[in-house]
């Protein structure tokens, strides 16, 4: 028992964390001890079981005692020790018999010596505590000397006597305490006579602790299960309290002792950490607010935007950290070599805002673009392999994007699960159509309207599915609509091609002679097409008379095709430009040699030793760097796209809202509900815009490392701008299409775009030789030569050999074949799983039907029986028989309504037929 | 979490302060309905009735009830809890099943109070018969809790829409 106290005193002396550790150690060591001493321990344990409980309540008082003792008697402690040493010899005789008793147990305890040594330090501390406490109570020097002596012995053979001391300590303290008249000793007095019992008592605590721990676990479980039950809080509280009463002593003890001192700290930390994590998610509150005003579909757009932001953050980190910063810090400074200098003829206008806005001038000759990078193999004191890093980052960004998109898609697909079951169309519409997040009366009105229309549509559809009218007209109209859309697409494609070609002509003649429109023609045309064509499609799609959801998908598909077509025409035009530039490059190359020859000819006669590098790098002629041009085009495209988005947002949404709000009072019709009204937030259009923007980033990022940074900026701004615009000037759409269903649709589009945008980039990397005088790959025949170069020069020879073996077609082809086979195998297995699933579902359904029929039959029979019984009862007119007969039928009708209670509880994994089957059989048997 | 509970308590005590008259631990239904989150909900009366533990059946909430409400509508509540409460909310006459009259009321509250958004009698009858056809598995003319949960558990977006954020 005193040992128990010791633990307590320890825990209030030190801080709480320490005491947990301490208790655990104690448990471990004593668990071992327990095994040894079970034989004689068991007897006592039973006796002491009840005492231990009392001890718990005492603990507090002893704790207080200990504290007091510590403070008061720290000084007295030293003098007492000296006294003890004087009396050491005298007391040795008295201790002899006690030691004999202890030696028995020592043998047992040798096994756990190792564990014991771990706690040595703590034991020492504890010892002091005990000593102090003891000294407060004890006046006679016998005991103190006795204790001191044993301590001295321990110093000689520490590990062995450690246990002995442990034994003795409690004993001595209990003796002393019994002499003093403190109230806490009243219980321990009888035990103090029995030395062994005291020792065993200590070993009892771990068991008790375990028991208490179990109790706490039970409570936790109880709480967890309670959380899963739809009870009101009151009931929960009542249950909690009742369990509390049952185990009050244990739980209170454990809570004060273990749980609240340490676990709570840990839990508090965890909780704080959770809060911190949620606080770290950017824009969470904003999105929640929007969610509560506009429902989950609008919020899904912003969540998508945030996700996109995260991806771009990583792309930006890659390009910025591994390409741009090293080049800016460690590469040759600006103006040292031709590719890093603005050419002489552009120098005059290089700082003009218009030129810079167009990413010409100084911006063109900076780390933002491909052309600035040097082809030096390793730069700076780190020997950073910049060309290699440039190439790998380009590949890595694409690979990372693929990985993320596919992983997200897979996760979404998993979450969807069996959600595509359309057998509960109407029920879902009624039970789940209300979005409880809606907190805005206007939104609520809209929601009412949309729910009504959806109901009506569903009913009409239901009716329509039974009859079909005039299929030829609708077919004709649909074909016509598709034809019109195709025309639109082709027209827009041609327009872009034409414009790009024209702009090249302008560029050849020099941009300075043209106005703003000519310079920005391409981007403006693309943006305008992107703005107006969707409206056109919308008009056309009214011809088709599709179901709204189908119509929406068609619409999305068409806009997708439009954007894609535009993008690809743009790329094809760019390819043409690249060819032109390369032809130009050839000429420049030739001129270069001539120029160099001239230079030599000019300088050699003057001074034969001086190198011909005195020419300023700005004056050296250079080829047109097609990579930089491509990068520039993409950057311009992104900028103009962003601008148009923002401008349409401000004009189309904000100004419209302002006009409608303030002109409404002095207008001849109701503007808010009439023609202009407020604009809706167009989720699908915005998502498409976002996706295409991302596609352009992926395409252009290789040639303009600054693109991810720009995109990050754009996304950041549009997050705030759109949040604001949505909150202040939009009304939610009438036709809400559900967020969860469309999520993977977006993802699929993103994947397609990713694939399509990596194609041209890969094509240019693989098939077009890089420019000879700019960029990290200048001087090589192909860009990927950088890998080969690295392999040859940076890795040992055997590695290159292995690589060449591994990359020869004889190995690669079988590997590819293997991959294809694996894919095929996996796909076929998943297909079979699906089929099995479907079959199971069918089985369940048929079983359901059968059950229903059986139930019906049973109910009918029961009703008949009831009737018969009643008739019989009437004829006999005996009330007692009447009740007897009518009893079974009543119960049978009851069961007919009961069966479903056992099914359909959770997801789809239940077996509806089984639970009620035996019931029914027994039922029919009974009858 | 702790923060959420504290926040809920703040809101609740604000509501309490606005309650004039004798200080009580309950907040009447009307006060609860002034919360912006519930203001436009067509089921607000039902929600209060379901979560109220008051003896008077007046839909007033104590703080425990209020917490109950929030936890049922929170993100962490399971589908089972949510569907259970949804069922009780939809069960207008508190008889443990959704029969045709409950469904009619439900549809009416979903379609709003105004006449132009209401469904006509014919449509209503059609709709209700369709609903019963789909979800009434044992064909007793009513939808009971387990049938309801069965239907709900298949729904893709019930969990995401059945929540209230303060």
Chain-chain contact of B163 with A437 (C-beta, under 8 angstroms): yes
Q: Are residues B65 and B34 in the same domain?
A: yes
CA A65 to centroid of chain Cα atoms: 52
Residues of chain B numbered 15-54 and touching chain A (CB < 8 Å): 36-43, 51, 53
Q: Are residues B148 and B97 in the same domain?
A: yes
Which of residues A645 and A32 earns the better pLDDT score?
A: A645
Residue A777: is its pLDDT beyond 70? yes
Instruction: Count Cβ atoms below 10 Å from residue B114 Cβ, excluding itself.
Output: 11
Q: Are residues B115 and B140 in the same domain?
A: yes
Confidence of residue A823 (pLDDT cuts 50, 70, 90): very high
CA distances from A579 to A365, A501, A511, A584, A884 (A): 22, 13, 20, 9, 100
- Using left for φ > 0, alpha for ψ between -120 and 50, and beta otherwise, residue A140 falls in beta
Q: Which residues pair with B61 in a beta bridge?
A: B27
CA distances from B46 to A236, A276, A461, B42, B85 (A): 22, 36, 31, 9, 10
Dihedral of CA atoms B118, B120, B122, B126 in degrees, nearest 10, equals -10
pLDDT in the model for residue A454: 66
Please give the backbone phi and psi of residue B99, each rounded to the nearest 5 degrees, phi first.
Answer: -100, -175
The Cα A707–Cα A757 span in angstroms is 14
Which of residues A613 and A337 earns the better pLDDT score?
A: A337
Chain-chain contact of A230 with B80 (C-beta, under 8 angstroms): yes
Kind of pairing, strands B143-144 and B97-98?
antiparallel
In chain A, which residues have their Cβ closer than 8 Å to the Cβ of B151?
A: 424, 427-428, 431, 904
Q: How close, in Å, is residue A927 to chain B by CA atoms?
A: 22
Of the candidates B25, B77, B19, B78, the one whose C-alpha atom is nearest the C-alpha of residue B52 is B25
Q: Which residue of A has its CA nearest to B79?
A: A906
Chain-chain contact of A448 with B112 (C-beta, under 8 angstroms): yes
Q: Does A494 contact chain B (CB < 8 Å)? A: no
Residue B26: domain span: 2-73
For A198-273, list the strands marked E by DSSP.
Answer: none
Q: How close, in Å, is residue B22 to chain A by CA atoms?
A: 23
- Using left for φ > 0, alpha for ψ between -120 and 50, and beta otherwise, residue A341 falls in beta
Helices (H) and strands (E) in chain B, counts: 10, 2
Q: How close, in Å, is residue A852 to chain B by CA atoms?
A: 6
Share above pLDDT 90 across residues of chain A, in percent, rounded to a whole number: 2
Element (H, E) at A679: strand A679-680
Token pair of A470 as six digits: 């005039």
The Cα A182–Cα A173 span in angstroms is 13
Q: Considering CB atoms only, which of B81, B138, B164 is closest to A437?
A: B164
Q: Are residues B114 and B157 in the same domain?
A: yes
Query: Rounded mean pLDDT of chain A?
Result: 65
The Cα A277–Cα A454 span in angstroms is 39
Domain boundary among B23, B58, B73: B73
The winner for highest mean pLDDT among A116-130, A202-216, A535-549, B105-119 is A535-549
Q: Are residues B86 and B153 in the same domain?
A: yes
Q: Are residues B52 and B119 in the same domain?
A: no
Residues of chain A numbered 200-259 and touching chain B (CB < 8 Å): 228-230, 232-234, 237
Residue B124: is its pLDDT beyond 60? yes
Q: What is the CATH number of the domain that holds B91?
A: 1.10.238.10
The pLDDT tens digits for B9-36 are 777 777 666 555 445 566 666 666 667 6
DSSP, collapsed to helix, strand or coil, labels residue A384 as strand
The two most distant CA atoms of chain A are separated, in Å, by: 144
CA atoms lying within 13 Å on the CB side of residue A826: 6
pLDDT in the model for residue A298: 75
Residue A825: is its pLDDT beyond 90? yes
Chain-chain contact of A905 with B149 (C-beta, under 8 angstroms): yes
CA distances from A788 to A374, A559, A568, A719, A813 (A): 18, 42, 32, 43, 21
Q: Are residues B143 and B69 in the same domain?
A: no
Tally of residues, chain B: 166
The pLDDT tens digits for A891-903 are 443 433 344 433 3
Count Cβ neighbours within 10 Å for each residue of A432-471 and write b for 16 or more, e otherwise. bbbbbbbbbeebbbbbbbbbbebbbebbeeeeeeeeeeee
pLDDT in the model for residue A461: 65
Chain-chain contact of A425 with B79 (C-beta, under 8 angstroms): no
Q: How close, in Å, is residue A851 to chain B by CA atoms?
A: 8
Q: Which residues pair with B144 in a beta bridge?
A: B97
The Cα B60–Cα A422 span in angstroms is 39
The two most distant CA atoms of chain B are separated, in Å, by: 51
In chain B, which residues have their Cβ closer than 8 Å to the Cβ of A295?
A: 161
DSSP state letter for A157 = S
DSSP, collapsed to helix, strand or coil, labels residue A379 as strand
Q: How close, in Å, is residue A287 to chain B by CA atoms?
A: 11
- Using left for φ > 0, alpha for ψ between -120 and 50, and beta otherwise, residue B59 falls in left
Q: Does B112 contact chain A (CB < 8 Å)? A: yes
The pLDDT tens digits for A550-586 are 677 777 788 888 888 777 877 887 888 788 888 887 8
The pLDDT tens digits for A716-764 are 888 888 888 887 776 655 554 544 455 677 788 888 888 888 888 888 8
Which of residues B115 and A698 earns the better pLDDT score?
A: A698
Confidence of residue A197 (pLDDT cuts 50, 70, 90): very low
* Class of residue A531 by CB neighbours under 10 A (exposed 0-12, middle 13-18, buried 19+): middle
- Using left for φ > 0, alpha for ψ between -120 and 50, and beta otherwise, residue A557 falls in alpha
Q: How close, in Å, is residue B24 to chain A by CA atoms?
A: 17
Chain-chain contact of B127 with A426 (C-beta, under 8 angstroms): yes
In chain B, which residues have their Cβ closer than 8 Å to the Cβ of A902?
A: 146
Share above pLDDT 70 across residues of chain A, in percent, rounded to a whole number: 49
Of the candidates B1, B143, B146, the one whose C-alpha atom is nearest the C-alpha of residue B80 is B146
Of the candidates A383, A370, A369, the one whose C-alpha atom is nearest the C-alpha of residue A777 is A370
**Count of domains for chain B:** 2
Instruction: Count Cβ atoms below 10 Å from residue A384 Cβ, excluding itself.
Output: 18
Q: Are residues B89 and B64 in the same domain?
A: no
Chain-chain contact of B144 with A852 (C-beta, under 8 angstroms): no
The Cα A248–Cα A219 span in angstroms is 11
Q: Does A435 contact chain B (CB < 8 Å)? A: yes
Token pair of A919 as six digits: 């019931």
Q: Does B137 contact chain A (CB < 8 Å)? A: yes
Count Cβ neighbours within 10 Å for each residue of A494-525 and write b for 16 or more, e otherwise. ebbbebbeebbeeeeeeeeeeeeeebbbbbbb
Which of residues A500 and A264 earns the better pLDDT score?
A: A500
Q: Are residues B27 and B97 in the same domain?
A: no
CA distances from B81 to A225, B44, B48, B70, B156 (A): 12, 18, 16, 12, 16
Q: How close, in Å, is residue B110 to chain A by CA atoms?
A: 6
Chain-chain contact of B130 with A433 (C-beta, under 8 angstroms): no
In chain B, which residues have their Cβ closer than 8 Å to the Cβ of A852?
A: 137-139
DSSP state letter for A420 = T
DSSP string for residues in B2-22: HHHHHHHHHHHHHHHHH--SS
pTM above 0.90, yes or no: no
Residue B42: is its pLDDT beyond 80? no
Of the candidates A921, A859, A868, the one whose C-alpha atom is nearest the C-alpha of residue A896 is A859
Chain-chain contact of B163 with A430 (C-beta, under 8 angstroms): no
DSSP, collapsed to helix, strand or coil, labels residue A375 as coil
Q: How close, in Å, is residue B74 to chain A by CA atoms?
A: 11
In chain A, which residues have their Cβ closer than 8 Å to the Cβ of B3?
A: 275
User: Is A501 within 8 Å of A467 (Cβ atoms)?
Assistant: no
Domain boundary among B46, B73, B100: B73
The winner for highest mean pLDDT among A96-105, A124-133, A290-299, A761-770 is A761-770
The Cα A914–Cα A920 span in angstroms is 10
Question: Rg (Cα) of chain A, in Å, rounded?
Answer: 43
Element (H, E) at B97: strand B97-98
Q: Does A904 contact chain B (CB < 8 Å)? A: yes
Confidence of residue A183 (pLDDT cuts 50, 70, 90): very low
Q: How close, in Å, is residue A334 to chain B by CA atoms?
A: 54
The pLDDT tens digits for B84-123 are 888 888 777 777 777 777 777 777 777 766 655 566 777 7
- Most A CBs within 10 Å, among B65, B131, B133, to test the A interface: B131
In chain A, which residues have their Cβ closer than 8 Å to the Cβ of B1?
A: 271, 274-275
Element (H, E) at A680: strand A679-680
ipTM above 0.85, yes or no: no
Mean pLDDT of A33-53: 42
DSSP, collapsed to helix, strand or coil, labels residue B98 as strand
Apex A909 CA angle, A908 and A913, nearest 5: 95
pLDDT in the model for residue A261: 54
In chain B, which residues have their Cβ closer than 8 Å to the Cβ of A458?
A: 127, 130
The pLDDT tens digits for A362-381 are 777 777 787 777 777 777 77
pLDDT in the model for residue A818: 95
pLDDT in the model for residue A900: 40
Chain-chain contact of A443 with B51 (C-beta, under 8 angstroms): no
Q: Which residues pair with A226 in a beta bridge?
A: none
Q: Does B111 contact chain A (CB < 8 Å)? A: yes
Q: Are residues B97 and B136 in the same domain?
A: yes
Q: Are residues B97 and B67 in the same domain?
A: no
Confidence of residue A257 (pLDDT cuts 50, 70, 90): low
User: Is A413 within 8 Å of B13 (Cβ atoms)?
Assistant: no
The Cα A407–Cα A403 span in angstroms is 6
Residue A40: is its pLDDT beyond 70? no
The Cα A206–Cα A263 span in angstroms is 18
Instruction: Count Cβ atoms below 10 Å from residue A911 Cβ, excluding itself.
Output: 13
Domain boundary among B54, B73, B92: B73
The Cα B166–Cα B7 span in angstroms is 8
Chain-chain contact of A455 with B111 (C-beta, under 8 angstroms): yes
Chain-chain contact of B161 with A435 (C-beta, under 8 angstroms): yes
- Most A CBs within 10 Å, among B110, B126, B136, B145, to test the A interface: B110
**Which residue is listed with tokens 């759109």?**
A722
Please give the backbone phi and psi of residue B23, each rounded to the nearest 5 degrees, phi first.
Answer: -70, 125
Q: Are residues B92 and B122 in the same domain?
A: yes
- Most A CBs within 10 Å, among B89, B100, B122, B135, to test the A interface: B135
The Cα A113–Cα A328 span in angstroms is 64
Chain-chain contact of B117 with A903 (C-beta, under 8 angstroms): no
Which of residues A113 and A427 earns the better pLDDT score?
A: A427
């Amino acid at each position: 028992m005193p040992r128990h106290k010791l633990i307590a005193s320890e825990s209030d002396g030190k801080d709480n964390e320490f005491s947990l550790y301490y208790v655990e150690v104690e448990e471990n060591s004593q668990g071992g001890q327990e095994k040894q001493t079970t034989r004689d321990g068991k007897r006592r344990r039973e006796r002491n079981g009840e005492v231990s409980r009392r001890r718990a309540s005492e603990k507090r008082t002893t704790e207080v005692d200990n504290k007091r003792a510590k403070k008061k008697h720290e000084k007295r402690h030293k003098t007492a020790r000296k006294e003890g040493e004087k009396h050491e010899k005298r007391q040795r005789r008295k201790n002899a018999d006690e030691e004999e008793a202890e030696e028995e147990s020592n043998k047992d305890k040798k096994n756990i010596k190792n564990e014991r040594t771990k706690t040595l330090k703590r034991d020492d501390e504890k010892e002091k505590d005990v000593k102090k406490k003891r000294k407060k109570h004890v006046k006679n020097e016998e005991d103190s000397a006795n204790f001191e002596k044993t301590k001295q012995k321990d110093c000689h053979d520490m590990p062995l006597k450690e246990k002995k001391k442990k034994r003795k300590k409690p004993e001595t303290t209990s003796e002393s305490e019994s002499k003093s008249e403190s109230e806490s000793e009243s219980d321990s007095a009888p035990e103090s006579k029995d030395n062994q019992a005291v020792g065993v008592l200590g070993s009892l605590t771990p068991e008790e602790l375990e028991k208490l721990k179990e109790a706490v676990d039970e409570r936790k479980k109880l709480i967890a299960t309670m959380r899963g039950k739809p009870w009101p809080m009151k009931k929960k509280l009542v249950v909690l309290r009742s369990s509390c009463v049952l185990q009050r002593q244990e739980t209170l003890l454990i809570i004060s002792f273990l749980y609240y001192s340490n676990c709570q700290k840990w839990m508090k930390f965890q909780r704080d950490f959770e809060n911190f994590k949620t606080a770290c998610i950017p824009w969470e509150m904003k999105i929640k607010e929007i969610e509560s005003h506009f429902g989950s579909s609008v919020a899904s757009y912003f969540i998508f935007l945030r996700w996109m932001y995260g991806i771009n953050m990583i792309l930006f980190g890659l390009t910025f950290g591994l390409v741009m910063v090293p080049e800016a810090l460690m590469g040759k400074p600006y103006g040292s070599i031709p590719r890093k200098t603005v050419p002489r003829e552009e120098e005059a206008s290089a700082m003009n805002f218009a030129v810079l806005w167009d990413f010409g001038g100084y911006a063109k000759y900076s780390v933002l673009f491909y052309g600035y990078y040097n082809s030096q193999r390793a730069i700076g004191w780190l020997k950073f392999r910049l060309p290699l890093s440039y190439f790998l980052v380009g590949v890595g960004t694409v690979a990372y994007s693929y990985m993320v998109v596919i992983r997200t898609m897979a996760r979404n697909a998993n979450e969807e699960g069996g959600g595509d079951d359309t057998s509960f169309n109407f029920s879902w519409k009624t039970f789940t159509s209300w979005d409880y997040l809606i907190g805005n009366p206007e939104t609520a009105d809209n929601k009412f309207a949309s729910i009504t229309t959806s109901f009506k549509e569903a009913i009409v559809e239901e009716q329509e599915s039974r009859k079909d009218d005039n299929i030829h007209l609708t077919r004709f109209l649909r074909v016509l609509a598709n034809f019109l859309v195709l025309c639109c697409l082709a027209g827009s494609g041609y327009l872009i091609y034409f414009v790009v070609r024209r702009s090249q002509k302008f560029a050849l003649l020099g941009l300075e002679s043209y106005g703003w429109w000519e310079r920005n023609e391409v981007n403006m045309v693309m943006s305008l097409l992107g703005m107006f064509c969707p409206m056109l499609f919308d008009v056309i799609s009214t011809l088709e008379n599709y179901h709204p959801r189908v119509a929406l998908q068609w619409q999305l598909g068409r806009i997708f095709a439009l954007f894609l077509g535009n993008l690809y025409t743009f790329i094809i035009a760019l390819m043409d430009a690249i060819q032109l530039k390369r032809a130009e490059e050839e000429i420049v190359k030739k001129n270069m040699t001539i120029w160099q020859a001239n230079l030599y000819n000019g300088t050699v006669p003057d001074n034969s030793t001086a190198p011909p590098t005195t020419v300023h790098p700005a004056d050296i002629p250079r080829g047109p760097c097609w990579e930089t041009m491509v990068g520039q085009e993409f950057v311009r495209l992104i900028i103009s796209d962003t601008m148009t988005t923002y401008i349409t947002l401000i004009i189309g949404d904000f100004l419209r809202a302002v006009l409608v709000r303030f002109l409404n009072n002095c207008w001849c019709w109701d503007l808010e509900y009439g023609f202009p009204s407020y604009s809706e937030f167009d989720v699908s259009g915005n998502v498409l815009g976002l996706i295409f923007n991302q596609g352009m980033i992926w395409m252009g990022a290789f040639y303009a490392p600054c693109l991810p940074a720009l995109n990050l900026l754009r996304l950041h701004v549009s997050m705030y701008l759109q949040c604001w615009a949505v909150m202040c000037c939009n009304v939610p759409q009438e036709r809400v299409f559900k967020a969860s269903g469309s999520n993977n649709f977006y993802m699929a589009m993103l994947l397609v775009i990713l694939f399509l945008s990596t194609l041209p980039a890969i094509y240019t990397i693989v098939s077009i030789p890089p420019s000879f005088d700019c960029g990290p790959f200048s001087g090589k025949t192909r860009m990927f030569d950088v890998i080969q170069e690295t392999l040859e020069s940076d890795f040992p020879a055997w590695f290159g050999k292995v690589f060449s073996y591994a990359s020869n077609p004889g190995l690669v082809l079988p590997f590819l074949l293997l991959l294809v086979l694996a894919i095929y195998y996996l796909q076929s297995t998943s297909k079979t799983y699906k089929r099995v699933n479907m079959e199971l579902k069918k089985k369940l359904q048929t079983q359901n039907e059968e059950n229903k029929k059986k139930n019906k039959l049973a109910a009918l029979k029961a009703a008949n029986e009831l009737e018969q019984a009643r008739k019989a009862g009437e004829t006999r007119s005996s009330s007692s028989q009447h009740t007897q007969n009518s009893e079974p039928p009543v119960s049978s009708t009851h069961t007919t309504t009961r069966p479903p209670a056992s099914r359909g509880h959770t997801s789809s994994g239940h077996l509806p037929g089984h639970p009620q089957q035996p019931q029914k059989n027994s039922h029919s048997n009974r009858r | 979490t702790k923060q959420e509970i504290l926040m809920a308590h703040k809101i609740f005590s604000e509501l309490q302060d606005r309650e004039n008259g004798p200080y009580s631990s309950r907040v009447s239904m009307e006060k609860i309905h002034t919360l912006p989150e519930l203001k436009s909900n067509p089921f607000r009366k039902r929600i209060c009735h379901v979560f109220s533990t008051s003896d008077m059946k007046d839909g007033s909430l104590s703080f425990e009830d209020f917490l109950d409400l929030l936890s049922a509508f929170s993100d962490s509540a399971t589908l089972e809890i949510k569907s259970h409460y949804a069922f009780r909310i939809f069960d207008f006459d508190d008889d443990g099943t959704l029969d045709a009259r409950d469904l009619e009321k439900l549809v009416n509250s979903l379609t709003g109070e105004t006449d132009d958004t209401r469904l006509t009698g014919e449509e209503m009858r059609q709709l209700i018969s369709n609903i019963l056809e789909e979800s009434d598995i044992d064909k007793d003319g009513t939808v009971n809790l387990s049938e309801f949960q069965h239907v709900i558990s298949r729904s893709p977006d019930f969990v995401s829409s059945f929540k209230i954020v303060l």
